[in-house]
Structure 1
């Protein structure tokens, strides 16, 4: 099994959106038995809560299932269990990089690193900007590229 973890700050906007979008993309290509997908936050403010209403709305508008997604915080176990840890921005990437142990053998990258020549490097936080459509568009494109990357690398 290949395990992919999406990480943002509070795990209520960007990373659950990425989890839901990526889960749908994986299902569309029939790899849901090969790839496990989850999301978490580096902060603990929203543990146990459903995604932000703006995230739920944009996912609903695009017919993407968001059921069974609740906020949780990244754990040290996540850093040993997941093969691909995908941060939404440089701050979360830095936090994850500092957390990982010497035994970590997976990849930690920013999501938008998978979009070659992207003018944007960090997924903006719609909790502060309110622009869920922009965030959806960025995540959707990056998840398509990430899935292609994983399929090629893992020979799926």
Structure 2
């Protein structure tokens, strides 16, 4: 739990250039449209340091722009163990990254990280697949999945934190 009254969300994938910045951008716009931008803190990170300091993948940014999501202000960073304590929601894109987050967490916080797709149980997939080595369709699928989960995440935050 954060020390302030502002609920916080951290989206996590491997390199922080495809899936987690896509989720960051989609959720950011959803929060802005709900007029809650000053009431919810949003960030994204990667479990690996491959792309620290870099912008999101060009293909991810192009796919996002076709749906009017902006990602050009995002910069990749690596998740830190203290992020797990600092953020209210620590959301992994897949099981491998969830396991890494759990291993970084203090024992009392091991159950805090969750799969992002747990907010879209009807979607039928629990992991957001990494589109990095695939074609354009993979980036569209990521957007579809993120959009399916983002609204339910926002409703959960409203219910639990914003009353």
**TM-score with structure 1 length normalisation?**
0.94
Deviation string 1:126-151 (CA, Å, 9 cap, x unpaired) is 10233111111001111111111111
1:109 paired residue among 114, 117, 134: 114
Separation of aligned partners in 2, 1:60 and 1:149: 27
What is the aligned residue count? 156
Deviation string 1:2-56 (CA, Å, 9 cap, x unpaired) is 1100000000000000000000000110111110000000001100000001110
> 2:155 aligned with 1:152, yes or no?
no
> 2:42 aligned with 1:42, yes or no?
no
Q: Which runs of 5+ in 2 are unaligned?
A: 1-5
Q: Is the 8 A contact 1:85 1:106 kept in 2?
A: no
> 2:146 aligned with 1:139, yes or no?
yes
Matched with 1:97 is 102
Separation of aligned partners in 1, 2:134 and 2:117: 18
Q: Which runs of 5+ in 1 are unaligned?
A: none
